[in-house]
Amino acid sequence: MTSISKFRATLAAGAAVAASAAVLMAPGTANAASYSDCKKGNICFYTGSNGTGHMCQWDGNDSDWRGGGITCSWAGTHNVKSVYNNGFASGYKDVVYYTGANYQNRIGCTKVGNQGNLAGTYKLRSHKWVTSC
C-alpha cells in the first residue's frame, strides 16, 4: 500500500469513527417521563414504576382512555405502574381509577398531592375526579 493509500484509509477510518460518535451523541427522540413532567392540576399515569416510562395525563374526567376526549396510546397494551395526582387541593381533588370504560370496576384512588407505585398488574381504562377517596 502506498503512502497516499494509507493516508486515505486512515482518513476513511477516522471519518467512520467520527460519524459513529455523532450518532451516539445525538439526542434521543423519546425521553423517559418523570413525576416532574406532570402538569399542575393534572392526574398522570405511567407505564414504569416511580413515574417513569410512558405517561398520559388529564385535567378532567375520562370515561374511556382508548376512545375518550384524550386517548392514551398505550392504555390497551401496557399496565399502569405508577400515578401522580398533581391536582388542586380543593373541590374535586382526588382521583378514582377503573379497569373498565365508563367508570366500571374501581381499582383504586389517589389523593391530591400523592404519587407512588401501583400493583402494576392491570390496565386502566377510565378515571374520575372526586371530592374524597
pLDDT in tens, the chain (133 residues): 444 443 334 334 444 433 333 322 222 223 568 999 999 999 999 999 999 999 999 999 999 999 978 899 999 999 999 999 999 999 999 999 999 999 999 999 999 999 999 999 999 999 999 999 9
Question: Which pLDDT score, from 0 to 100, does residue 75 have?
Answer: 95
- In sequence order, which residues have a C-beta less than 8 Å from that of residue 37 and are 6 or more positions away? 44, 51, 55
Question: Which pLDDT score, from 0 to 100, does residue 12 have?
Answer: 40
56 within some domain? yes
9 within some domain? no
CATH code assigned at 122: 2.60.20.10
What's this model's pTM, rounded to 2 decimal places?
0.76
95 within some domain? yes
- Are the C-beta atoms of residues 45 and 55 closer than 8 Å to each other? yes
75 within some domain? yes
Domain residues for the domain of 51 are 39-130
43 within some domain? yes
24 within some domain? no
Question: Which pLDDT score, from 0 to 100, does residue 31 have?
Answer: 53
34 within some domain? no
1 within some domain? no
Counted domains in the chain: 1
Strand bridging mode 82-86 / 94-100: unpaired
Going through 3-103 in order, the beta strands assigned E by DSSP cover: 42-46, 55-58, 82-86, 94-100
Exposure of 30 by Cβ count < 10 A (0-12 exposed, 13-18 middle, 19+ buried)? exposed
